[in-house]
Structure 1
Amino acid sequence: MFEHLVLFKFNANYDPATGPQLVETLLSFKGEIPGIVQITAGVNETEETDNIRGYTLGLRVTFENKEALRQYGPHPKHQAFVQMLTDILDNVVVADYPIQ
């Protein structure tokens, strides 16, 4: 299996009221994008304000294998989500690694 972790940092155009819609869209990937074993997403609620550095949304996706992860990027549902972020995304951190 392969793990895909993403942290999204949004700019001043981000409306916190849209957070639940973004999370719902991400969670809908499980039934619609092949190869996803498990997915979690949520708006950052950390109380460790010294460490938040402005990252607002977290995503964790477990894929069947590395090839499923590779197919995820160009998938139309994923690309539609990327388009939702066009005006609000400031930065993103991604980590992909194999898991047992």
Structure 2
Amino acid sequence: MFSHTAVLRAARGCAEPLGLCLDDLREPVQRMAGCLGVEVRRVPHDAALWVLETRWQSAAAMQAFFLAPRLQQLLDRAVQQGMLSGLDCEAA
């Protein structure tokens, strides 16, 4: 199994809109070939932080996620609309 975790920091006043963007991503990612699970959650001790965690059957499936237009569109939208102030990623 392969996993990817992204921790996204919302810009001031943008935690809710960023969360809605991430929720919009959940269902399409779950339907992607090789997806074993998707979790979107807010960090309890910091309301500006969101975690997007995905699990994949293979490295190729995870790579397809990284290249998916839907993910690129979400990130572009979050940056262009000033919703995102930070992003940290880790793959295992």
Q: TM-score, normalised by structure 1?
A: 0.75
Give unmatched runs, 5+ long, in structure 1: 47-51
Aligned twin of 2:84: 89
Paired residue for 1:71, among 64, 80, 87? Answer: 64
Larger radius of gyration, structure 1 or 2? 1
Cα RMSD after superposing both structures: 2.0
Bigger fraction of residues in helix: 2
Moved over 6 A (4+): none
Aligned twin of 2:49: 56
**1:63, 1:69 within 8 Å by CA — same for their partners in 2?**
yes
Residue-pair matches, total? 89
Residue 49 of structure 2 aligns to a residue whose secondary structure is strand
Over the matched positions of the two proteins, sequence identity in percent amounts to 11
Q: TM-score, normalised by structure 2?
A: 0.80
Give unmatched runs, 5+ long, in structure 2: none
Q: Structure 1 residues 96 and 55 mapped into 2: Cα distance closer, same or farther (>3 Å)?
A: farther
1:65 Cα shift?
0.8
